């Protein structure tokens, strides 16, 4: 399907207490995909992996921004 479908499925847990409870339990990828299918979402492993890559890329960008701020601060602090 798509990342948009995966995002929509993940947002459902805010309105569905049973889904929220199930998300709180350990599950493997196959169980996660089966749970999505129960709710009408035809997600694939590729969708989950793409979402993980998107999250890691976002985390990496945020980390780089923080490091850049720290670097500028240190450059102004260390006189050379």
Walk along the chain (80 residues) and give the pLDDT tens digit of each residue.
588 999 999 999 999 999 999 999 999 999 999 999 999 999 999 999 988 888 887 666 666 777 777 777 666 666 65
Question: How far is CA 27 from each of CA 5, 30, 33, 68, 77, rounded to the nearest angstrom?
Answer: 19, 8, 10, 38, 49
Cβ atoms < 10 Å from Cβ of 66: 10
Tokens matching residue 79: 């006189």
Domain boundaries, the chain: 3-77
Whole-model pTM: value is: 0.66
Q: Please give the pLDDT value at position 52.
A: 86
Cβ-proximal residues to 14 (8 Å cutoff; 6+ apart), any chain: 20
Q: Please give the pLDDT value at position 30.
A: 95
Cβ-proximal residues to 62 (8 Å cutoff; 6+ apart), any chain: none
């Amino acid at each position: 399907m798509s990342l948009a479908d995966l995002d929509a499925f993940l947002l459902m847990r805010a309105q569905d207490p049973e889904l929220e409870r199930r998300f709180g339990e350990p599950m493997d990828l196959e169980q996660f995909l089966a749970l999505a299918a129960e709710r009408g979402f035809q997600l694939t492993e590729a969708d989950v992996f793409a979402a993980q890559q998107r999250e890691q890329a976002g985390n990496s960008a945020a980390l780089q921004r923080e490091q850049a701020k720290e670097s500028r601060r240190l450059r102004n602090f260390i006189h050379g």
